[in-house]
Amino acid sequence: MDKIIIFVIVAVAVVVICLMLITAKRNRNLKEAGLDAEAVVTRIWENTSTDPDTLATSTDYAYFVTYRTENGETVEARLASGKSVETYKDQEYWYGDLHEGSVVRIKYLPDKPDYVIRIKD
């Protein structure tokens, strides 16, 4: 039984590390080779959860933007999380200033237009 638990823990750790590496590579590609565009925040998803042990409440937000690609296609995409945007360290400021209708600068890759990062205005 102990070997199974250790195997599961190691497997989960490997998957998490792989996902982190994929995300970091994708964000690096966006920063280096991504195309700039102007986007409008079209919706904000809010998820509030409460820890049953401590009764602490936390709220997470996901921001969705709509923009036009270089070839004129309209795309709705989710902004990458604040942790992947290295331009600003203060995530609360970085995303807390957004509301529906906000206009932001983004970068996208033509072959993956549904994944974008916000860039400095």
pLDDT(42) > 60 = yes
What pLDDT, on the 0 to 100 scale, is given for residue 117? 85
What pLDDT, on the 0 to 100 scale, is given for residue 23? 65
> Percent of the chain beyond pLDDT 90?
21
User: Which token pair is 38?
Assistant: 């102007």
- Judge residue 31's burial from the number of C-beta atoms within 10 Å of its C-beta, 0-12 exposed, 13-18 middle, 19 or more buried: middle
User: In whole numbers, what is the pLDDT of the chain averaged over residues?
Assistant: 77
- List C-alpha distances in Å: 82 to 32, 45, 96, 111: 18, 15, 10, 22
For 72-102, the pLDDT digits (tens) are: 999 999 987 543 333 344 444 445 667 889 8
Mark residue 26 as left, alpha or beta (left: phi above 0; alpha: psi -120 to 50; beta: remaining). Answer: alpha
Q: How far apart are CA 81 and CA 56, in angstroms?
A: 22
Higher pLDDT, 62 or 42: 42
Q: How far apart are CA 39 and CA 27, in angstroms?
A: 18
Could you state, in order of their start, the residue ranges of all structural domains in the chain? 2-119
What pLDDT, on the 0 to 100 scale, is given for residue 1? 67
What pLDDT, on the 0 to 100 scale, is given for residue 88? 40
What pLDDT, on the 0 to 100 scale, is given for residue 95? 55
